[in-house]
Amino acid sequence: MLHLKTLATAFLLTAPFAAQAADTPWTLHFGAHVVDPKSDTGQLAGIPARVSKSTRPTFSVEYRFAPGWTAELLAALPFQHEVRLDGTRAVSVKQLPPLLGVNYHFMEGAKVSPFIGAGVNYTWFFDKKGRNALQGTHVQMENSWGAAGHAGVDVRLDERWTFTVDARYIDIDSKVKVNGARVGTAHVDPWVYGASVGYRL
């Protein structure tokens, strides 16, 4: 009986701190996502262009600022793509697509909680290299600002851990130049989908 009273006393003393920890507004997510550009990315120098997909580790920090509402900053290791002209490899390029957005969680705190969101993306293209017929040329791809939509589902594993599957659509358009001459605009506009594990701090 004394043992039960001791446990009850310990629970009552630690419950406020446990509740406070569970209510922390910060969550870190670690996972992997695929950047999958649309199949028709326009024409470059009058030739149909296509950009390959790429998969990389991703991480984000999410801040709960109101019931159901969170702000999220998404980052990743550099994605690497190939630009093909009429099926032939022409350019290799790396890009970083940091994204800042706001999400609304419909059933916050439930075992399964769907969410939607919107935000703004900045895509930085770098390490651009001409291949095959463009080997040795100077290739430029302008960085891009664009809107982004977001949707997914959180599955709560326990008080701190969450498993998330999600998808984003990002508006990415980049003007392309070869040796200083503009050859067109790459309308990348990818779907970005993947999964992550979240930990509430």
Query: The tokens of 27 are what?
Result: 């969550």
**pTM as predicted:** 0.82
Cα gap 107→102, rounded to integer Å:
16
- Confidence label for 15 from pLDDT (cuts 50, 70 and 90): very low
pLDDT of residue 3: 42
Q: With pLDDT > 70 as the criterion, what percentage of the chain qualifies?
A: 89
Q: 13: helix, coil or strand?
A: helix
Mean pLDDT score, 8-12: 43
pLDDT score, position 23? 65
- Residue range 22-47: mean pLDDT, rounded: 89
Does the pLDDT of residue 71 top 80, yes or no?
A: yes
Taking the CA atoms of residue 80, residue 76, residue 109 and residue 158 in that order, the dihedral angle to the nearest 10 degrees is: 100
Task: Classify residue 12 as exposed, middle or buried by CB count within 10 Å of its CB (0-12, 13-18, 19+).
Answer: exposed
pLDDT in tens, 84-112: 998 899 999 999 999 999 999 999 989 99
Mean per-residue pLDDT, 161-187: 94
Q: Over range 22-35, report the average pLDDT.
A: 90
pLDDT in tens, 130-167: 999 888 899 999 999 999 999 999 999 999 999 999 99
Give backbone dihedrals phi and psi of 19, rounded to 5 degrees, phi first: -65, -40
Average pLDDT of the residues in 56-65: 97
Domains of the chain: 26-200 (2.40.160.20)
Q: What is the mean pLDDT of residues 20-39?
A: 85
Highest mean predicted confidence (pLDDT) among 12-16, 98-102, 185-189: 98-102
